[in-house]
Amino acid sequence: MRLTNSSSTIHSAIESDILSSTRQRQSKKDEAIRKKIEQELSRKRSNPTRIRQTKKIAGTVSALRPAQALTLKENILVIEAAQLMAAKRSDCVLVVDDEEHLNGIFTAKDLAYRVVADNLDARSTTVSDIMTRNPMCVTADTCAQDALNLMVSRGFRHLPVCNEEGDIFGLLDITKCIYEALHKMEKAYGSSRKLYDALEGVEREWANSPVQLVQYMETLKDKMSCPDLTSVLTHHEPVQVSLKTQVREVAKLMKEYHTTAVLVMDHNGLAGIFTSKDIVLRVIAAGLAPDNCSVVRVMTPHPDTALPSTSILDALKKMHDGHYLNLPVLDEDKNLVGLIDVLRLTYATLEQINSIEGNQGAKFWHSIAFSENESILSDPLSHAPPSTYPELTSSNSSIEHESTASIVTDTFSFKFNYSNKTHRFHHETNNFAMLLETIQQKTEQPVTVAYLDDENDQVLMTCDSDLMDSVQIAKNAGLDRVKLIVKRHIKQNPMMEQRSIVKQEQKNTITIPHDVILPAAITFLGVVILSVFTISKSK
């Protein structure tokens, strides 16, 4: 038995060394590409625009330390933009006009979707052809909590920080915000773990306590526990390709399935991972042709993986330490379970912070102290979602500022249970259609949504006013969230609907009491007989 265990340990160590060496070789290739590009850029490009310094105010966007923004003019070719992104380790670029005002934005995802997947040539396509024009931006003095909540509800990834004239101050990165807060969250969950264990002991001692006390303790334990990866995994399988799949085809699959990462499989299982950032660095910037490049040449071989039981916090630490944005999830037998990305973990972490702090979650971000001597340059993990705030601005934007601003300042917490899973999220309080879409993304099924009114009756939610009523009722009751009742929507067939209508019509007709029917019938019959007798006599 000891010999077997020893052999297994040696085999695992050898396998780990092999996997580590293959990743190191790929990392060296990446650095060689970056070094070559940097040498070329240094010969023909002037110094980039530096980030404007602004005073950091606790609890605002400025305290979240927006990263230095990478800026380009819109007439730059895509291949040049990709090379600059590779050299600067960035996956988001802001496009400026001749006066250095914000004009557009594009990301590594846009290069994968709008260039490679759409069969465009990076050597002749300009940035103006693929950028998103007039992006939303935020001022530095906007409330950080409002910003982060809106990022989650709207699914933003990158957000420029500007003043009202469109001058760029930086780029907000939601994942970087979470990474900065990791240490504090670790301490919070460490203390919570001790209290959690103590509560379990008390619960055993008070086994015969009143139901209300037991329920309260269960609620406390639920709030203090750090969720694991099973809470964020979806039922959709990650996109899988073979070693010989061409990069162009991979990009088309990314676009079709709305993802930025695919898993590369061989006969032994997981062989590698390939992302939109790899398309930028290892394909476009390196000058390779997507039609003639198989994914095995440019993938990250043997990526790190996690178990479903891994906590969200540990997964975030793993991704932060390893400088990657996607993490395959395998079970104990090395079977593929799913793929999670840093953005999904970030959103889940924000929801957990809000569930603990309630609507006072701003206290958490207000207390985050950032070191003044740390670098403000974007790191390899600048895979950042954008956001919007009470003071949204946009250079020549077609977006209606009034409606957007009202959204920013009015979000609330929502919670529901579905298929034995509890979901928590922040959302706008005046857009039912978007709320329903958010819920159905989590349930992956058509659903109906209801809430409890102030008389504890279920009310079906069908419009914006219903949504606003539910929030107002929760606020009046001193609650920090709306508990939704979500059920699967089962559409009736036409015959059943017709029967339902007939039944309803029958129900709505005026009914006559049975004790009135007989006298009325006798009276009516008497009138008829009398009428017939009168007519006969007149003849």
Closest by Cα among 224, 274, 227, 267 to 248 = 274
Residue type at position 222: D
H/E element holding 36? helix 2-44
Q: Say which residues have a Cβ less than 8 Å from residue 319's Cβ, sequence separation at least 6.
A: 325, 327, 342, 345, 381
pLDDT tens for the chain, 539 residues: list them.
Answer: 444 555 555 555 555 555 667 777 777 777 777 777 776 766 655 444 444 555 677 778 888 888 888 999 999 999 999 999 999 888 899 999 888 888 999 999 999 999 999 999 999 999 999 999 988 777 888 787 776 766 666 677 788 888 777 788 888 877 777 766 666 666 665 555 554 555 455 455 555 555 555 555 455 555 555 688 998 898 889 999 999 999 999 999 999 999 999 999 999 899 999 999 999 999 999 999 999 999 999 999 999 999 999 988 889 889 888 888 899 999 999 999 999 998 888 878 777 666 655 544 555 555 554 433 333 333 333 333 333 222 323 333 332 332 222 223 367 888 898 888 888 777 888 888 888 988 988 888 899 999 998 888 899 998 888 898 899 898 888 887 899 999 988 765 545 544 444 444 444 444 444 444 445 544 544 544 455 455 555 55
Instruction: Indicate the pTM of the whole model.
Output: 0.62
Q: How is residue 380 written in tokens?
A: 């390899």
**What are the beta bridge partners of residue 326?**
341
Contact 411, 182 (CB under 8 A): no
Residue type at position 75: N
Residue type at position 288: L
Per-residue pLDDT, 313 = 84
User: What is the C-alpha to C-alpha distance for residues 115 and 246, in angstroms, rounded to an integer?
Assistant: 15
Q: Which residue has the tokens 């190191």?
A: 24
Query: What Rg, from alpha-carbon coordinates, does the chain have?
Result: 30
Contact 133, 365 (CB under 8 A): no
User: What is the C-alpha to C-alpha distance for residues 184 and 177, in angstroms, rounded to an integer?
Assistant: 12
H/E element holding 509? none
User: What is the C-alpha to C-alpha distance for residues 184 and 358, in angstroms, rounded to an integer?
Assistant: 17
Per-residue pLDDT, 34 = 75
CA distances 429 to 119, 145, 265, Å, are: 41, 16, 43
Pairing of strands 92-96, 336-341: unpaired
Map out the domains of the chain with their CATH numbers: 231-347 (3.10.580.10), 410-488 (3.10.20.90)
Closest by Cα among 314, 63, 344, 326 to 177 = 63
Pairing of strands 447-452, 458-460: antiparallel
User: What is the C-alpha to C-alpha distance for residues 50 and 276, in angstroms, rounded to an integer?
Assistant: 27
Contact 179, 316 (CB under 8 A): yes
User: What is the C-alpha to C-alpha distance for residues 319 and 246, in angstroms, rounded to an integer?
Assistant: 27
DSSP state of 99: T
Per-residue pLDDT, 327 = 95
User: What is the C-alpha to C-alpha distance for residues 103 and 99, in angstroms, rounded to an integer?
Assistant: 10
User: What is the C-alpha to C-alpha distance for residues 49 and 277, in angstroms, rounded to an integer?
Assistant: 23
- Can you tell me whether residue 112 is helix, strand or coil? helix
Pairing of strands 485-488, 421-428: unpaired
CA 413 to centroid of chain Cα atoms: 15
Closest by Cα among 375, 409, 403, 372 to 390 = 409
Burial class (CB in 10 A: 0-12, 13-18, 19+), 28: exposed
Most distant CA pair in the chain: distance in Å? 124
H/E element holding 104? strand 102-107
User: What is the C-alpha to C-alpha distance for residues 388 and 420, in angstroms, rounded to an integer?
Assistant: 33
Let me know the angle formed at the C-alpha of 289 by 286 and 290, rounded to the nearest 5 degrees. 105
User: What is the C-alpha to C-alpha distance for residues 196 and 143, in angstroms, rounded to an integer?
Assistant: 32
Contact 342, 381 (CB under 8 A): yes
H/E element holding 434? helix 432-443
Q: Which residue has the tokens 């580590």?
A: 20
Strand (E) positions, 386-428?
A: 392-393, 411-418, 421-428
H/E element holding 450? strand 447-452
**What is the signed CA dihedral for 256, 262, 267, 270, rounded to 10 degrees?**
-150
Per-residue pLDDT, 127 = 95
Closest by Cα among 6, 1, 66, 28 to 386 = 66
DSSP state of 463: S
Let me know the angle formed at the C-alpha of 468 by 464 and 470, rounded to the nearest 5 degrees. 115
